[in-house]
Amino acid sequence: MSDWFLPESERPWTSGNLVVPRVHGADYFARVVELVEATEAGDRIFFTDWRGDSDELLTEHGPTVAELFEAAAGRGVEVRALMWRSHPGRLNGEENGHLGRVLNQCGGEALLDERVRRGGSHHQKLLVVRRKGRPEEDVAFVGGIDLCHGRRDDARHAGDPQAPPLDDRYGDSPPWHDAMAEIRGPAVAHVLDTFTERWDDDTPLDHRNPYRALAHRVARMPRHPERLPERWDPPPEAGRHRVQILRTYPAKRPRYPFAPEGERSIARAYTRAFSRARRLVYVEDQYFWSDVVATTLADALRREPTLQVIAVVPRHPEEDSRVGGPPMKYGQRIAWDRLREAGGERFAMFDLENAAGTPIYVHAKVCIVDDQWMTIGSDNLNLRSWTHDSELTCAVVDPDDELPRRLRTSLWAEHLGLPDDDDRLADLDDAMALWTSRVGAPGSRVSLHEPPRLPRGTALWARPAYRLAYDPDGRPRALRGTADF
């Protein structure tokens, strides 16, 4: 048993896994192409997406997302996909519907899934490849990277030529920082469990809504999917890493059969890890909102007088309009104030820019605590991800502490503009001093980040918008207003 993990009665965990962080979309996409192109008749591919663009080039010269899976289905590979149907008027719904039609027409099976809480989304990103008769080659991916425009960036951060919609200050090809975890070993079966539970949910995909029913007919997708075929045994051991697969599902009606009161194991796992933190919590996060979430870290800063918390976030919201920007800034300012009050200068936020001075959009969802416990997932540090949307996260403990430390130092070397073997990267106790010393240093990409304090008039409307729309609480009513998950 690892004391870092939730008890097995709450979420199962496995040993004997091999986890490889795939930092940057270009690395992840190239790996997906390599694995999928190696599949043969009888193999199986499963994936979920918040957004999928059929024409996204997975490498510079292709294939596209659609071409990769079309070719696999043409070889007799079983290809199944679950994609968020999205709300009316959202581009995600159009793109996901188009990719779904392509997959269904080529012999795969894709579903548009809107079985979410009102105002919520399916935000899980997973991909599983299972090889018939060769379970040692089975692999799963969990993290923050969708198969869509904007994600194919690398360590240079010049951006993906197929740009996503983003605030103009990120340029024509927004630099994009992201991460996935590649998993081999018994934990692959636990990732697939998440896909299977959602696929086999008997609730109609359209929730009996006429608009959604029409969307499914247009996309030529069934309201009730066929059950998945018989499961194969879990893959054999592949390494020494211990893995716990964590999820979020909201409390909703009709209930999820596999989570009748919702599931908040991500929230409880982070709370447990933060309660054990002694030296350093390092976070890369798209949002970093919420007073409730920040309280768990603030308590740790008050308890441990030498604990440091370093967060890397985007410089600007993805939609920094007069309407969209203030609620996001309000939520992040709440977290910043609470943590600065608790830890003083032992807490700091930073943002990133590339060599040309263009801000890098930080979409990664990575957390490393004391170089002993780490996560890569789809969840952000906010109440929405911890309670309201569907999320999926891979938590890892390495008995030798090598993997969390190696991931952290490689990320820091990139951000701080230091060689991988610089001794300062390994020193947890002087982490904050190292980061602040690299602000504005040659080769460094980091800048201090302090979210603005909104004018009083703006805050009057931004606060309820933030609470109700941007960071809603998906817990059962008995838990709302508390710090319990």
267 and 313 share one domain:
yes
194 and 298 share one domain:
no
| CA atoms of 85 and 70, how far apart (whole Å) | 21
Confidence (pLDDT) at 168: 95
Confidence (pLDDT) at 230: 86
In-domain check, residue 236 = no
Confidence (pLDDT) at 93: 60
The two beta strands, 78-84 and 109-113, are parallel
Q: Provide the residue range defining the domain that includes 292.
A: 241-479
Residue 224's contacts (CB-CB under 8 Å, 6 or more residues apart) are 202, 204, 205
Q: C-alpha 422: how far from its chain's center?
A: 29
Cβ atoms 50, 377 nearer than 8 A: no
294 and 176 share one domain:
no
Confidence (pLDDT) at 87: 56
Cβ atoms 268, 449 nearer than 8 A: no
203 and 260 share one domain:
no
175 and 33 share one domain:
yes
* Residue 254 preceded by cis peptide, ω within 30: yes
**CATH code of the domain containing 160:** 3.30.870.10
In-domain check, residue 5 = no
Rg of the chain taking only CA atoms, in angstroms: 21
In-domain check, residue 235 = no
| CA atoms of 47 and 177, how far apart (whole Å) | 21
In-domain check, residue 1 = no
Q: State which residues of the chain have pLDDT below 70.
A: 1, 87-93, 206-224
Cα 465 to Cα 199, 325, 459, distances in angstroms: 33, 11, 10
250 and 147 share one domain:
no
In-domain check, residue 316 = yes
190 and 321 share one domain:
no
> Of 186, 218, 250, which closes a domain?
218
Cβ atoms 382, 289 nearer than 8 A: yes
Confidence (pLDDT) at 65: 97
Confidence (pLDDT) at 125: 98
Tokens of 89: 């008027």
**Phi and psi at residue 391, to the nearest 5°:** -140, 160
436 and 326 share one domain:
yes
Residue 391's contacts (CB-CB under 8 Å, 6 or more residues apart) are 123, 124, 247, 248, 266, 377, 378, 379, 385
Cβ atoms 412, 438 nearer than 8 A: no
Confidence (pLDDT) at 228: 86
Cβ atoms 285, 380 nearer than 8 A: yes
459 and 348 share one domain:
yes
Cβ atoms 286, 365 nearer than 8 A: yes
Site of tokens 């989304």: 121
> Of 218, 251, 274, which closes a domain?
218
386 and 284 share one domain:
yes
> Number of structural domains, the chain?
2
201 and 249 share one domain:
no
Give the model confidence (pLDDT) of 8-21 as tens digits: 999 999 999 999 99
186 and 245 share one domain:
no
